Amino acid sequence: MSQTATQGAAGAAPAGAMPQRAGLILGALVVVALVALFAGARYGLLLAIGLGFGIALEGMRFGFAGPWRAMILRREPSGVLAQLLSIALVAVVAIPLLSSHAGELIGAQAPIGFAMIGGAFVFGACMQIVLGCGSGTLVNAGSGNPVSLLALPFFALGSFAGAWNLIWWTDLGALPILTLSGGAGLGVTLVLLALAAAIFLWRAAPGTVKLSRRHAIAAVLLALLAIGNLLVAGQPWGVVYGLGLWAAKGYAALGGDLSASAFWAAPGSMERVQSSVLTDYTSLTDIGIILGAFGVAAWRRGALASKLPSYPARAWVATIVAGFLLGYSSRLAFGCNVGAFFSGISTGSLHGWVWFVAAFAGAFLGIRLRPLLGLEART
C-alpha cells in the first residue's frame, strides 16, 4: 500500500466527499437489507460478511498473491506470516466446533490426488501471472483493476468447466479425505503452521523479520469474518464454487444440457442451478467482496481517478487464458487460495497443506512468466 493512499484513506475527508461516503454506507445497508428481506436473513448476513471481506482485503491492501510474490522476489515474509496467523486463529475456533457440531458445520475437506496437486500448481502459477487469486480477482475487479476485470468472467467459465470434468480428473487417482480433527488435530495444525512460519522467517531477508501492524490487523479481521462465515453458512469461506455456478446458470439459460456432466447433473448441483444466487453462500460472499472493494476504492480520494495501465495485446490474451485456468485448476484442486489453502487448513483438511506446497511451487513459475507475457505495466 502506498503511503499516500494510506493517508488518503485515514485522513480527514474534504467536504465534498462526505455525502459520497454517506451514500456508500447507506447503499451497503440498503443492499444487505433488501437481500435479507427478499431472500432471507441468513443470506443478508452472508452478503454483509462478504462486504466485510471486500472492505478488509481492499482497505488493508491485503491478499494472497502479493504476499507470496513479496516472499519469493524480495524475501519479505510479513504478508505470508499474516496469512498463517489468520489461518491459525480460525483453526482454533473452527476445528473444535466441527467436532462438537458435526453435520451442522462442515469443513473444507477434500481428497489429495494427482489432479488436485496439478491443479494447485497451475493455480499458483496463474495467480502470479495476473496477480490475483480467487479473492484477489474479485477485490481487484471491484476496485477497477482492468486485468482482474477481464480475468473474472473467464475465471467463472473455467470454474464451470473444471467442475464439469471434476469426476474424470479425480478418478485419475486420489486418496480418501484425510483430516486433522479434535484437540490433537488442532494441535498438529498449529504446530505445522508454526513450522511453516519458521521456514519463512528463516528464508527472510535481513531486516524484514517482522509482522507489520497492517498485516496483523488484516489477519485478525479476516479470521473474524471467516469464523462468522462458518457459523452463519455452516461451511467455510469459499470463492470458486459461486463463480462456476454463475456460468452454469448462464449455460442452462442458453439451452445447454447440464445432465451431460456428472458434477452438474448431481441433485445438489441441479438444485442450486435452479435456485437464486442470492441463496448460494459463496455467490453472496463473492458479490459482497466485489461491492466491498468497490466501496473502499470509491471511499479513497482519487483511487478511482487513477489512469488505467497500458499493456500489450499478448498481456490481454494471457489474462484471458490465465483467468480460465484459474477457474479450471481451482476446481480440480478442490479450491483456491481461499477454499483450499485458507479454509482447508483452518478446518483440518490435509489437502489444504498439499495445495499450499504445490501452489507455492507454481508461484515461482508464474512470477517468471508474468513479465514475459507483458503483464508488467509500461506506466
Partner 1 sequence: MTRSFTAALALAFLAALLVFDLATTPPNPYQAPALLAFGSGSIASGGFCGALPN
Query: In the window 345-374, what residues touch partner 1 (CB under 8 A)?
Result: 349, 351
If you write DSSP's letter for every residue of 10-78 in order, what string do you get?
HSPPPTTHHHHHHHHHHHHHHHHHHHHHHT-HHHHHHHHHHHHHHHHHHHTT--SHHHHHHHHHH---H
In the complex, least distance from residue 194 CB atom to partner 1, rounded to whole angstroms: 24
Stretch that binds partner 1, among 56-64, 117-125, 216-224, 327-335 (CB under 8 A): 327-335
Through-space distance between the first and last CA atoms of the chain, rounded to whole angstroms: 17
Select 217 or 232, whichever has its Cβ closest to partner 1. Answer: 232
Contacts by residues 365-368 (CB-CB < 8 Å, ≥ 24 positions apart): 365/121, 365/124, 365/125, 365/128, 366/124, 366/125, 366/126, 366/127, 366/128, 366/129, 367/69, 367/72, 367/73, 367/128
Q: Which of residues 179-218 bind partner 1 (CB under 8 A)?
A: none
Q: Which of residues 259-298 bind partner 1 (CB under 8 A)?
A: 262-263, 266-269, 272, 274-282, 287, 290-291, 294, 297-298
In the complex, least distance from residue 129 CB atom to partner 1, rounded to whole angstroms: 19
Among 64, 68, 334, 353, binds partner 1 (CB under 8 A): 334
In degrees, rounded to 5, the angle at the alpha carbon of residue 234 between the alpha carbons of residues 232 and 238 is 90
The reply on whether position 241 binds partner 1 by CB under 8 A is yes
The reply on whether position 16 binds partner 1 by CB under 8 A is no
In the complex, least distance from residue 47 CB atom to partner 1, rounded to whole angstroms: 11
The secondary structure of 130-163, three-state, reads CCCCHHHHHHHHHCCCHHHHHHHHHHHHHHHHHH
Whole-number Å distance between alpha carbons of 79 and 215: 6
Whole-number Å distance between alpha carbons of 203 and 135: 26
The reply on whether position 5 binds partner 1 by CB under 8 A is no
Reading the block at residue 155, the C-alpha cell is 475465471
Select 12 or 253, whichever has its Cβ closest to partner 1. Answer: 253
Select 234 or 256, whichever has its Cβ closest to partner 1. Answer: 234
What is the CB neighbour count within 10 angstroms for residue 62?
25
Coil/strand/helix, residue 178: coil
Stretch that binds partner 1, among 82-90, 191-199, 210-218, 326-334 (CB under 8 A): 326-334
Select 7 or 276, whichever has its Cβ closest to partner 1. Answer: 276
Residue 170 near residue 111 (C-beta atoms within 8 A): yes
Residue 52 near residue 292 (C-beta atoms within 8 A): yes
**Helix crossing, 41-59 with 17-38: angle to 10°?**
150
Stretch that binds partner 1, among 178-186, 189-197, 330-338, 361-369 (CB under 8 A): 330-338
What is the CB neighbour count within 10 angstroms for residue 160?
27
The reply on whether position 311 binds partner 1 by CB under 8 A is no
Q: Which of residues 138-177 bind partner 1 (CB under 8 A)?
A: 141-146, 149, 152-153, 159, 166-167, 170
Among 86, 135, 179, 235, binds partner 1 (CB under 8 A): 235
Check residue 111 and report its DSSP letter. -
In the complex, least distance from residue 142 CB atom to partner 1, rounded to whole angstroms: 5
Binding mask 70-109 for partner 1 (x = CB under 8 A): ---------------------------x---x-xxxx-xx
Whole-number Å distance between alpha carbons of 258 and 252: 7
Residue 253 near residue 245 (C-beta atoms within 8 A): no
In the complex, least distance from residue 179 CB atom to partner 1, rounded to whole angstroms: 11
Check residue 2 and report its DSSP letter. -
The reply on whether position 37 binds partner 1 by CB under 8 A is yes
Select 200 or 237, whichever has its Cβ closest to partner 1. Answer: 237
The site that binds partner 1 (CB under 8 A) totals a number of residues, namely 87
Select 40 or 199, whichever has its Cβ closest to partner 1. Answer: 40
Stretch that binds partner 1, among 11-19, 53-61, 124-132, 342-350 (CB under 8 A): 342-350
